[in-house]
Homo-oligomer: A and B are copies of this chain.
């Protein structure tokens, strides 16, 4: 495990991924309560809302109210998701300096999923990317990241090869070059939990070889229980940036969201890294409190493990007394 990074960044996606999938309406004030609690854990980046179609995702209809209402903490970057120009304009209009409006060029590796999610073919996705990049430049929004979703497989299309992923990144970097953008990060999302440690190593390895200067990010879903193992595979390939959701928010297999389990769990990943000597800058006990708060807010059990099993620091401390 010589390649393990010394430290990693964990980007919290819980307030977005998590509250988005919940059926019961969650009061805006409670969403803000979690965002503000997460701000006290050492997290440096929190995605707090999605500016998506409120008819399709009614649970995110209060995106503007969330941004207006929360108290930002100095040193923490707050981000939001958008999938089209309308969403971007909404985020820009409400930000008031509270949101970090960095953009990415993101493409689905699966055309069938792109059609279902965004109603665009892959060709149309690239066309959109071309256009939106120009809009970002007009507004002085920096574009730092190339991102490929459903990068390991898709429930609607099947396996996704490393070659397909590399080809999409090649085309993204062509757009970046044509627009004089200096991308700094590459992100791979296992949107539908098809990855295993072996496919993570294969695809991340190929990308590292081709783009050695890029910082790598993984966005891993845990639907088939492989999330933390896939994160370890990423760590071993030098990945030092992970998306994660407190308490494993983003879908609870125990609440009828079958097959829609959320991202890897923030505090489980933080626990593992700290136990392995990889710095996260996070306060695990505070994260566990946030996970318990998240469970209380959604009103049903969430899949995180360390929030139930407990940290080891407490146990170690007890034996030293």
Contacts and interface: CB of A to CB of B under 8 A. Distances in A.
Interface size class of chain A, counting residues whose CB lies under 8 Å from the partner chain = 35 or more
A269 B148 CA distance: 27
A308 B316 CA distance: 35
Nearest to A193: B309
A55 interface: no
Given A1-B197, A158-B316, A272 B226 contact: yes
A303 B196 CA distance: 19
A268 interface: yes
A198 interface: yes
Given A1-B201, A275-B198, A301-B254, A259 B225 contact: no
Contacts of A301: 253-254
A296 to B, nearest CB: 15
Contact of A225 (B196, B268, B319, B320): B268
A131 interface: no
A233 interface: yes
Q: Which of A194, A198, A276, A316 has the most CB of B within 10 A?
A: A198
Contacts of A272: 196-197, 226, 229
Contacts of A159: 316
A123 interface: no
Nearest to A259: B309
A312 interface: yes
Interface in A159-194: 159, 193-194
A304 B1 CA distance: 28
Contacts of A276: 196-198
Contacts of A316: 158-159
A66 to B, nearest CB: 29
Given A226-B272, A271-B224, A305 B197 contact: no
A204 interface: no
A309 B268 contact: no
5 contacts: A198-B275, A224-B310, A226-B268, A226-B272, A232-B233
